[in-house]
Amino acid sequence: MSRGDVVLKDNLNKLLKEGKSDKDQNVRPKWSDGTPAYTLKTFGVLNTYDLNEEFPICTLRPTAWKSGLKEDLWIYQDKSNDVDLLEEKYGVKYWRSWANKQGNLGLAYGRQMKYQHEYKEGYFNQIDRLIWDLKNNPYSRRMITNLYNHNDLHGMTLYPCAFLTMWDFDGEFLSMTLVQRSSDYLVAGNINVTQYALLQHMIAQSVGMKVGKFHHYINNLHIYDRHFEQAKEILEREPFAAPKLVIDESVKNFYDFKPEHFHLEGYEKHEQIKLEVAI
């Protein structure tokens, strides 16, 4: 059984049995017909995966893990907020509803990775600084990337959901914590897990380290009111074994990774469940 399935079932059971409803509150999200999109939520969820043991993808439904990988490359390699580029270069099209008239996300996501920040050792963007620290000061407790810049929130078309990473090396394994303010769990929950697990793999391989633990903290984990029946259906399914992630070991530079360097062997999964997305 995949660890991704164990976590998914545990969280869905908790939401359906103990989740707090915001029904009748003045909520921001709406369905396409204009109806308010209410949720069941739970606060402060910490999910733990050991990437040295398996890749944390669920099998209870398909996960578009390659799309998540392409978002990684768009944000952290290209350092782009350009939705046109995401569609044309990678074929990922579901960000269009958040784009502005110029076809980008304003000052959000990859734009934050593009900034050059001044350090004692010179100017770095956040990813280059992380890689520099892992190579030159791997036991540092200051290895952080952050997409949530309060000074730029006014210019973002979408406030980042998964926004902060913290990294730790113990002499053998490179571990990471991801902090996420909000998770539309059935729509994007496992995509977020797989894409940041892939980011951890890429960073580790580029600095010659082995991947370790992946801690994923979600402040507000929720499912929407039009997803309750789909959640119950997923809970009735029997999981398959976790697949094996295979990465081209010849790639040593973070900026050289491409989608074709990643493969999943033996990924069995149940059929997809259709979900309406609240905006």
Dihedral sign, Cα of residue 120, residue 122, residue 124, residue 129 = negative
End-to-end CA distance of the chain: 33
In the chain, at which residue ranges do the beta strands (DSSP E only) sit? 20-21, 39-50, 117-119, 122-124, 144-146, 162-169, 173-184, 210-224, 244-247, 262-265
Closest CA relative to residue 224, chosen from 24, 6, 30 = 30
Concerning whether 58 is annotated as a catalytic residue, the answer is: no
Q: Which residues pair with 124 in a beta bridge?
A: 117
Give the C-alpha separation, 207 to 173, whole Å: 11
CA torsion, points 146, 149, 154, 155, in degrees to nearest 10?
A: -60
Tell me if 47 sits within 8 A of 218, measured CB to CB. yes
Give the C-alpha separation, 198 to 134, whole Å: 17
Q: Hey, what are 52's tokens?
A: 């040295």
The backbone torsions φ and ψ at residue 174, rounded to the nearest 5 degrees and listed phi first, read -100, 115
**Catalytic residue selected from 161, 166, 187, 264:** 161
Closest CA relative to residue 187, chosen from 101, 67, 54, 56 = 67
The residues carrying an active-site annotation are 161
